[in-house]
Chains A and B, each alone.
Chain A
Amino acid sequence: MGPFLLRRLAGAIPVLFGVSLLVFLMLHLIPGDPVLLLLQQSGEQAEVSRERYDAVARKYGLDQPLPLQYLTYVGNLLRGDLGESTIRSRPVAELIAQEAPFTAELAVSALAFAIVVGVLLGVAAALNRGRWLDTVAVILATFGVAMPAFWFGLLAIFVFAVAFGLLPASGVGGPQYLVLPAVTLGIGSAAAITRLTRSSLLEALAEDYVRTARAKGLLEWRIVAGHALRNSLIPVVTLMGLQFGALLAGAVVTETVFARRGLGALTLQAVTSKDFPLAQGLVMFIATLYVMVNLVVDLAYSYLDPRIRYA
């Protein structure tokens, strides 16, 4: 297990360096002078004095050669320094730390919803192949995959907040504030997990070892839960890792529709206000998170399938 973990960790390092290079180049690839761009983001659109220009260039290290700037950037990253937001005048790391718990709460709830609903519905569909339950599950999954989150969110607000007054329409607070956003964010993932669980379990149920288990006289639920489902979950776990990225991306829309605080709302703000240090910091943070989640997924494989661990 140790060498496997080390190998996977070593594999993540070049990925993160690649991401850091792309993120660093974001500011420089945009047409125009980066110093003027930063001045504009700070609201300084009037004529800028040479002194002010030089001061901003010095502050952001933009008076240095590009390779040196990158090395400084990486050095700062390793120290946890993601720069300072030009619009909010606060350290980017501080802003991310403030908002991350709200997104984590939302993403974890949405993922939990997606896993529970997706796996249960997928298993139910596979075990009832060709019957009405299977048909319903397939229709729901197709509906969930096809439906845009913003539309579903607005519909949910209308039904549960406006028409029946059961849940709040927006904001953050107790668990009641989390229900609609989590379902909205998680429904697409739930649909994807349902479809994959169904097909994967059907495939597993056709394997020889299942026939052997049945021949041995094992109870059907033990065959499904103890043998087929475990093996069928490997692609599902891969999908969960991928879905985590989708959930972070989807948080931008969901947090906007439900007016929730979080990294999605912060990302939208960074992009719309051209706050490059903040946008760079967020991309770097989310990319790192994504790499880490994939690492965890890889480790989960080795638990689910020992052949991977010893390969």
Chain B
Amino acid sequence: MIAQTVRRPALALALLGLVASACTGETGAPARTGGPVAKDAPLPGAKAQPYEVLKVVLNNAGTGTLDVVNANHTKATVYAQMWSNFLVYVDPESLQPRPGLAKEFSVNATGNEYTFKLRDDVRFHDGTPFNAEAVKFNFERIAAAKVGASYDALGGKKYRSTAVVDPYTVRVTFTDPYWTFYDQAALRLWFDSPAAVAKHGKDYGTKVVVGTGPYRMVDWVPNDHVFLERNDDYKWGPSVHKIQGPGYARRIEIRGIVEGATRRATLESGQADVVMLEETDVPDIQKDARFKVDLQPKAGTVRQLQINQKKFPFNDIVVRRAVAYAIDREALVKAPRYSGIAQVALGIQGLKNMGGKWAEELKSVQYGFDPARARKLLDDAGYRLVGNVREKDGQKLQIDFIFPTGALSEVQPIQAMLADIGIQAKLTELQTAKWFDSFQKGEMSITIGSSSGVGIDMFVNAFLTNGTENWWGVADPALDAILVKVDGAADPKARFDASVEAQKRIIAQAYGLPLLDVFYPFGMKKSVFDVYYPPFSWPSFYQTWLAQ
């Protein structure tokens, strides 16, 4: 469950209609709040109009390929929002699917057959038409790869086939119910021109990409930059955007800069219009009258402690709960790592995925910071303090706390909080890949992490007894009974309620301990307006304009 990229951009959202729902109309899914996003009104007299160039700096430019089949990095999806399109888009406020390249869409009663009626006026940048054959071509290439983020989004082994019903209608079938297909289609499944794929062969994706989007890719240097130029023929923008025709910027230049201080400097020196900031830089930029900051809640699971219940001492619920009471999450928010740019997390899933109403429901199962109670729990269970460390039956409360590179400032305060109740945590920093391998093998006692993606079910496989990402030894039949409903119920409200219920139980049993809901901070000049944030948080600049 823990990863740093959009790995298996999870399933679910309470989106779909009960049975055979058409695309129009709201369902019973709870509304969500977008988090503390800066809202600045344009200056008097300023209006959206075409302009020359928008300069954007992100924390990296991504690497590898942009071909939908093999693209496994988050930035590929960020760029695809501009040079390509999706069949459907998910409204970031209501979390409902909206038309994209498909003008109508529906799912059958058993959730395994989706029908998309496509727009007939869409053309790829190379002039070839986008139609049912193009959808089939792309989906079958993805399915043939058998690995990768797009393959997972297409349902993985669940995917059966794509049938061309007529030139502008396709039917996608799965072996089992796949209720969250719209979410994944709106996140990962963009479209490459079949003619361009054939023409460019191995260069496709690494040197050339041809899509249907409002911008054409004109230069892509992995790990460095992406330059896009406006597609003046564009007229099929999805309704989730404020415009449907060509974008305002003639050119969008996106650069990747790993070093946070340099990113900030590009904004302050005027070299960039929009910059992804480090949390520590946010307070200064917020104070600067030239800039504003959008704090975009990170889509995915929250920063959390993952606890290995197969090993002493966390095989004992008392110790897990004591840890929960020992951690001052308010203090973690204010600690230098986040500098106040985070919120105390109430559930395993983040704000962006679930919404504000859900957060209220989970308040009843929060532990709160109460070290005295933590000490008492341990005392009552026979964990006696010997020197600075507790022990029981000759076994000391000494734990291996592993964490990935860069998280030291996050885990040090936690180490101190655990020491305060007599638990000695030995910190081990591992290179990210090694860390990932290590906790998959269950070598550690505890770790910290989060994952990126959309949906209300991202945590399911980490806590299901036989879940593919359950490396922590969670085995709880009562929890399993709830978790299967998160993915399997036809009623979106039932899935949503199951997700909430499951998270309540996870917290009550202290299988995992939510710490912080974090934000992606985007600093920008005050003259920048209408940056669009989809459900997966990373922005699109299609509709962005600069007040002159």
Contact = CB atoms under 8 A, between A and B. Distances in A.
Contacts of A87: 63-64, 222
A143 interface: no
A210 to B, nearest CB: 49
Interface string B180-224: 000000000000000000000010011000000000000001111
Nearest to A169: B265
B147 interface: yes
A259 B262 contact: yes
Contacts of B222: 87-88, 269
Contact of B63 (A52, A168, A261, A273): A273
Given A43-B148, A87-B63, A169 B224 contact: no
Interface stretch (B10-18, B125-133, B253-261, B519-527): B253-261
Interface in A162-214: 162, 165, 168-171
Contact of A168 (B149, B261, B271): B271
Dominant SS among interface residues on chain A: loop
Dominant SS among interface residues on chain B: loop
Contacts of A169: 262, 265-266, 269, 271
Given A44-B147, A89-B206, A161-B269, A154 B262 contact: yes
B543 interface: no
Contacts of A230: none
B223 A265 contact: yes
A266 B433 CA distance: 19
Nearest to A155: B261
Contacts of A259: 224, 255-259, 262
B147 A46 contact: yes
A53 interface: no
B224 to A, nearest CB: 5
A120 B148 CA distance: 57
A257 B64 contact: no
B150 to A, nearest CB: 11
Contact of B257 (A44, A165, A170): A170
B258 A256 contact: yes
A157 interface: yes
Given A169-B262, A259-B258, A259-B259, A89 B202 contact: yes
Contact of A269 (B223, B259, B268): B223
A158 interface: yes
Interface residues of A, number: 32
B368 interface: no
B72 interface: yes
A116 to B, nearest CB: 27
A274 interface: yes
A168 B270 CA distance: 9
A44 B270 CA distance: 41
Interface string B48-85: 00000000000000011100001010000000000000
Interface in B250-290: 255-259, 261-262, 265-266, 268-271
Contacts of B255: 170-171, 259
Interface string A291-304: 00000000000000
A165 B256 contact: no
Contacts of A43: 64, 70, 72, 147-149
Contact of B268 (A49, A162, A258): A162
Best-buried of B65, B262, B433 by chain A (most CB within 10 Å): B262
A222 interface: no
Nearest to B221: A261
Contacts of B146: 49, 52
B63 A171 contact: no
A207 B49 CA distance: 75
A152 to B, nearest CB: 13
Interface in A242-265: 256-259, 261, 265
A159 to B, nearest CB: 10
B261 A157 contact: yes
Best-buried of B70, B202, B223, B270 by chain A (most CB within 10 Å): B223
Contacts of B266: 169-170
Contacts of B65: 88-89
A175 B257 CA distance: 20
A53 to B, nearest CB: 13
A154 B281 CA distance: 14
A97 to B, nearest CB: 13
A28 interface: no
A257 B259 contact: yes
Interface string B120-151: 00000000000000000000000000111100
B64 A161 contact: no
Given A170-B257, A259-B259, A162 B265 contact: yes
B259 A256 contact: yes
Nearest to A43: B72
A90 interface: yes
Contacts of B262: 154, 157, 169-170, 257-259
Given A43-B70, A169-B265, A273-B63, A261 B224 contact: yes
Nearest to A265: B223
B118 to A, nearest CB: 30
A258 B256 CA distance: 11
A258 B63 CA distance: 19
Contact of B265 (A46, A158, A274): A158
A158 B222 CA distance: 27
Given A170-B262, A259-B258, A88 B64 contact: yes
Nearest to B269: A161
A6 B222 CA distance: 41
A261 B219 CA distance: 14
A159 B532 CA distance: 33
B431 to A, nearest CB: 9
Contacts of A46: 147
Contact of B269 (A40, A90, A162, A274): A162
20 contacts: A42-B70, A43-B148, A44-B147, A87-B64, A88-B63, A88-B65, A88-B222, A154-B262, A157-B262, A157-B265, A169-B262, A169-B269, A170-B266, A171-B255, A257-B259, A261-B221, A261-B224, A265-B224, A269-B223, A274-B433
Top-4 shortest CB links A-B: A259-B257, A169-B265, A43-B72, A161-B269
Interface of A: 40, 42-44, 46, 49, 52, 87-90, 154, 157-158, 161-162, 165, 168-171, 256-259, 261, 265-266, 268-269, 273-274
Given A161-B265, A168-B269, A266-B223, 20 more contacts: A40-B433, A43-B64, A52-B146, A88-B64, A88-B222, A89-B64, A89-B70, A154-B259, A154-B261, A161-B268, A169-B266, A170-B257, A258-B262, A259-B256, A259-B262, A265-B223, A268-B258, A269-B222, A269-B223, A273-B63
